[in-house]
Structure 1
Amino acid sequence: MLAVVLLIIAGTVVVVMRTGNRDDTAGPPSDLPSTSPVAPGGPTTGPSGRPTDQPTDQEPRPRELAETVLDALDLGPAVTGSGVAAQLQPLLANPALGGRIGATVLDPATDELLLDLDADGGHVPASTTKVLTALATLETLGPDTRFRTTVVRAAGQVVLVGGGDPVLSQRVEVNESWVYPITRFDLLARATAEELLRAGTTSVVLGYATDLFAGPAVNPAWEAGYVPGGQVAPVSALSLDGGRTRVGFAQRADDPARFAAERFAALLGDHGVQVEGAPMPQSTPRASPGSALIASAESPTVAEIVGQMLTRSDNDGAEMLARHVARAEGEEPTFAGGSRAIVGVLERLGIPTDGLVLTDGSGLSRQNRIAPVTLARALELAYEDPDGSSRSLLAGLPVAGFTGTLTNRFADPQSAPEAGDIRAKTGYLSRVVALAGYVVDADGRLLVFAVLADAVVPVSTLDAQRAVDQLAARLATCGCR
Structure 2
Amino acid sequence: MRTEKLWRAIAITLCAAVPVSFYVVGDLTDAFPGVLTLSTEQQGEDAGPRAQGEDYDREQADPIVPTPATASTRTADEDLAGRLASHAKDPVIDGGLAYSVVDAESGDVIAERDADTARVPASTLKLLTASALLRSVDGDQRLTTHAVLDGRTLTLVGEGDMTLTRERVDALAKDAAKLAKENGQDQVALRLDTSALPGGENPAWGDNGRAGGWVTPTAALAVDEGWLDGEQYGKKSADPAGDAAKLFAKDLEKHGVKVSGGADAHVEGAKAPEVGGDVVEVATRSAPLTDIVQHALQTSDNTIAELMAHLTAKAQGLEPTPENAAKAVDTEVRSLADELGVPQKDLEELVIRDGSGLSTGDRVPPRLLSAILGEVASGGAPQLEPLLYDVPIAGLTGTLEERFGAKGVAGARGTVRGKTGYLAGTSALAGVTVLPDGRTVVFDIVVHGFDGADADKAKAAVDDVAYELARRT
Q: For the superposition of Structure 1 and Structure 2, which TM-score range results when normalised by the shorter chain? A: 0.7 to 0.9
2:393 aligned to which of 393, 399, 411? 399
Q: Distance in 2 between matches of 1:99 and 1:376?
A: 21
TM-score scaled to structure 1, two decimals? 0.80
Partner of 1:3: none
1:394–1:212 CA distance, 2 compared to 1 (3 A):
same
Q: Which has the larger radius of gyration?
A: 2
1:187 aligned to which of 154, 171, 189? 171
Q: Please tell me whether the aligned partners of residues 158 and 207 of structure 1 are also in contact (alpha carbons under 8 angstroms).
A: yes
* 1:224 is the counterpart of 2:207: yes
Please give the per-residue CA displacement for 1:233-292, whole angstroms capped at 9, x wherever unaligned: 111111122211244572211111111101111111222222222222033324176762
Q: Distance in 1 between matches of 2:100 and 2:320?
A: 33
Partner SS state of residue 376, structure 2:
helix
| Pairing of 1:153-302 with structure 2 (within 5 A) | 153-154=149-150, 156-170=152-166, 172=167, 184-215=168-199, 217-224=200-207, 226-248=209-231, 250-277=234-261, 278-287=265-274, 292-302=279-289
1:336–1:437 CA distance, 2 compared to 1 (3 A):
same
Q: Please tell me whether the aligned partners of residues 96 and 464 of structure 1 are also in contact (alpha carbons under 8 angstroms).
A: yes
Q: Please tell me whether the aligned partners of residues 439 and 472 of structure 1 are also in contact (alpha carbons under 8 angstroms).
A: no
Paired amino acid for 1:91: H
Partner SS state of residue 153, structure 1:
strand
1:75 aligned to which of 62, 66, 82? 66
Partner of 1:339: 326
Paired amino acid for 2:402: N
1:416–1:77 CA distance, 2 compared to 1 (3 A):
farther
Q: Distance in 1 between matches of 2:441 and 2:216?
A: 36
* Displacement of 1:65: 5.4
Partner of 1:120: 116
Q: Please tell me whether the aligned partners of residues 106 and 115 of structure 1 are also in contact (alpha carbons under 8 angstroms).
A: yes
Q: Distance in 2 between matches of 1:104 and 1:424?
A: 14
Q: Please tell me whether the aligned partners of residues 159 and 220 of structure 2 are also in contact (alpha carbons under 8 angstroms).
A: yes
1:473–1:256 CA distance, 2 compared to 1 (3 A):
same
1:69–1:409 CA distance, 2 compared to 1 (3 A):
farther
Identity of aligned residues (%): 33
Q: Please tell me whether the aligned partners of residues 99 and 366 of structure 2 are also in contact (alpha carbons under 8 angstroms).
A: yes
Partner of 2:409: 415
Q: Distance in 2 between matches of 1:12 and 1:440?
A: 10
Q: Distance in 1 between matches of 2:255 and 2:286?
A: 23
Structure 1 unaligned regions, length at least 5:
1-7, 17-58, 173-183
Q: Distance in 2 between matches of 1:99 and 1:456?
A: 10
Q: Please tell me whether the aligned partners of residues 154 and 290 of structure 1 are also in contact (alpha carbons under 8 angstroms).
A: no
1:401–1:328 CA distance, 2 compared to 1 (3 A):
same
* Displacement of 1:193: 2.0
1:373–1:230 CA distance, 2 compared to 1 (3 A):
same
* 1:309 is the counterpart of 2:300: no
Q: Which stretch shifts more, 419-428 or 262-271?
A: 262-271
* Displacement of 1:186: 2.8
Paired amino acid for 1:388: P
Q: Distance in 2 between matches of 1:323 and 1:124?
A: 21
Q: Distance in 2 between matches of 1:136 and 1:196?
A: 40
TM-score scaled to structure 2, two decimals? 0.81
Partner SS state of residue 439, structure 1:
strand
Q: How many residues align?
A: 417
1:449 aligned to which of 440, 443, 449? 443
* Displacement of 1:84: 2.4
Q: Distance in 1 between matches of 2:313 and 2:227?
A: 25
Q: Please tell me whether the aligned partners of residues 124 and 429 of structure 2 are also in contact (alpha carbons under 8 angstroms).
A: yes
- Greater helix content: 2
Partner of 1:63: 49
Paired amino acid for 2:84: L
Q: Please tell me whether the aligned partners of residues 141 and 288 of structure 2 are also in contact (alpha carbons under 8 angstroms).
A: yes
Please give the per-residue CA displacement for 1:353-374, whole angstroms capped at 9, x wherever unaligned: 3321000000000000001011
Please give the per-residue CA displacement for 1:162-190, whole angstroms capped at 9, x wherever unaligned: 111242222x4xxxxxxxxxxx3332222
* 1:133 is the counterpart of 2:139: no
Q: Distance in 2 between matches of 1:327 and 1:119?
A: 32
- Greater strand content: 1
Please give the per-residue CA displacement for 1:120-174, whole angstroms capped at 9, x wherever unaligned: 111001100000001111111022111111111247411111111242222x4xx
* Displacement of 1:457: 1.5
* Displacement of 1:118: 1.4
Pick 1 or 2: higher relative contact order, CA cutoff 8 A, min separation 6: 1
RMSD: 2.8
Structure 2 unaligned regions, length at least 5:
1-10, 20-44
Partner of 2:101: 105
Q: Please tell me whether the aligned partners of residues 135 and 382 of structure 1 are also in contact (alpha carbons under 8 angstroms).
A: no
Q: Please tell me whether the aligned partners of residues 136 and 325 of structure 1 are also in contact (alpha carbons under 8 angstroms).
A: yes
1:103–1:340 CA distance, 2 compared to 1 (3 A):
same
1:267–1:86 CA distance, 2 compared to 1 (3 A):
same
Partner SS state of residue 222, structure 1:
helix
Q: Please tell me whether the aligned partners of residues 375 and 381 of structure 2 are also in contact (alpha carbons under 8 angstroms).
A: no
